[in-house]
Amino acid sequence: MSSSHINAATPVPSFADLGVPSELIKILEQRRITVPLPVQIVTFGEAVAGKDLAARAPTGSGKTLAFGLPMISRLSHDKMRSPTGLILAPTRELAAQISNELSPLAVARNLRVQSFYGGVGFSAQLRSLRKGTDIAVACPGRLEDLMRSGRIQLGGVKMVVVDEADRMADMGFLPAVRGILDAIKEDHQTLLFSATLDNDVKVIMDSYQHNPTYYEIDLDDESKRRITHQFHIVEQAERTALCAKLISAQSSTVVFVRTKHGADRLAKQLSHQGINAAAIHGDLTQNQRERALTAFRKGTVQTLVATDVAARGVHVDDVGCVIHYDLPENAKSYLHRSGRTARAGAKGTVVALVTPKQRAMAKNIKSTLKLNAEFIGDFPSRKPTRKRDALFVSATPRAQLPGTPK
């Protein structure tokens, strides 16, 4: 396996320089996408040449087009109506987002893209299979169901993408991914993209890729400065009030909580404080989740209160702020959640609400990710010895974001 470490400050060629077909460039220009991003620049040549590769790139760095453009450029319409391209995604929202982003480009090359995921009925997906699907974008669970019933054949797949591979591992999907890859003929190309590539993901690389090139795409200093990280020290009972103040300073905010019940409860509490909020989590139907996302994208909902199921599924370019209402358990989750803001060159703010008991956890996240982050407020210097002492150790800070009046 060869390796290449790329900094985002690399000189930028055009899509035409990379060899992207002119009809695809025209579609990109209509969407005001005129300059390729680093991950697209470094991977396009090898991907379109049919070589295996693995790329670690930050969330929001343009991975969908990095694998979508070469796939659409390489593949041709199959008369057997079976997929020749397969993209595996961990969540329904991400599968839908990939399909929506690639469909207009595929049409220009006479290709059909269709997404397959659970939470919705089989009828529409089965109709699309009967009509013919060239590129299938699928979550592992639904794809396994279709394979078991004989409704989809993968024998003609020439190019496979495993997107958000580390998230696949976190959600327990690796056995399903391995089963799917085992069902595809040996002489196919495998691309693997993810925000992080750890030991679990390396299993896929070692077992299903042949001499892949490994790319690491880092944010340059200017990109890092677009994100402001803050750790607010706050008592447990005072988080909701502080969260509401922080949201009021932003145009759009995604708030992450740990549980489904917590998401519903916080959305209601924020609504009572005059903030138009909607919850999004795994217990909602797919239509309910899509309605919430659509309202958020249109601006009719200012705030999404989400569990980690949405950490990889919320793809909105103008999210101004991410709030970790419940501090994530590790640096990887913090990174994935935070990737919902500062996308497509925009600026963003990430705020973690840290209770005094979470002091060590917060400092570990800050240290692991080497965040240039400030702690706002002071940790209590001692534990209260009597119940009434708790009145004097509250460390609630002011809700102060950049540009907010004191």
* Within-domain flag for 405: no
Record the pTM.
Answer: 0.74
Label residue 403 by pLDDT band (50, 70, 90): very low
pLDDT over 70 percentage in the chain: 86
pLDDT given for residue 187 in this prediction: 87
* Within-domain flag for 192: yes
Q: Based on the domain organization, do 120 and 251 belong to the same domain?
A: no
pLDDT given for residue 391 in this prediction: 36
Q: Based on the domain organization, do 269 and 131 belong to the same domain?
A: no
User: For residue 248, what is the domain's CATH number?
Assistant: 3.40.50.300
* Within-domain flag for 243: yes
Q: Based on the domain organization, do 243 and 305 belong to the same domain?
A: yes
Q: By residue range, what is the domain housing residue 139? A: 2-218
pLDDT given for residue 344 in this prediction: 63
**Cα distance between residue 139 and residue 118, in whole Å:** 8
pLDDT in tens, 57-98: 876 778 999 999 999 999 988 777 889 999 999 988 889 989
Q: Based on the domain organization, do 263 and 162 belong to the same domain?
A: no
Per the structure, how many domains does the chain have? 2
Instruction: Fill in the amino acid letter for 357.
Output: K
Report the SS3 class of residue 395.
coil
pLDDT given for residue 377 in this prediction: 83
- Residue of 365, 321, 371, 315 whose CA lies nearest to 341: 321
Residues 282-289, mean pLDDT to the nearest whole number:
84
pLDDT given for residue 6 in this prediction: 53
Tell me if 232 sits within 8 A of 362, measured CB to CB: no
**Cα distance between residue 215 and residue 281, in whole Å:** 33
Residue 205 has pLDDT above 80, yes or no: yes
Q: Based on the domain organization, do 252 and 350 belong to the same domain?
A: yes
Instruction: Fill in the amino acid letter for 378.
Output: D
74 burial type by CB count under 10 A (0-12 exposed, 13-18 middle, 19+ buried): middle
Q: Based on the domain organization, do 174 and 277 belong to the same domain?
A: no
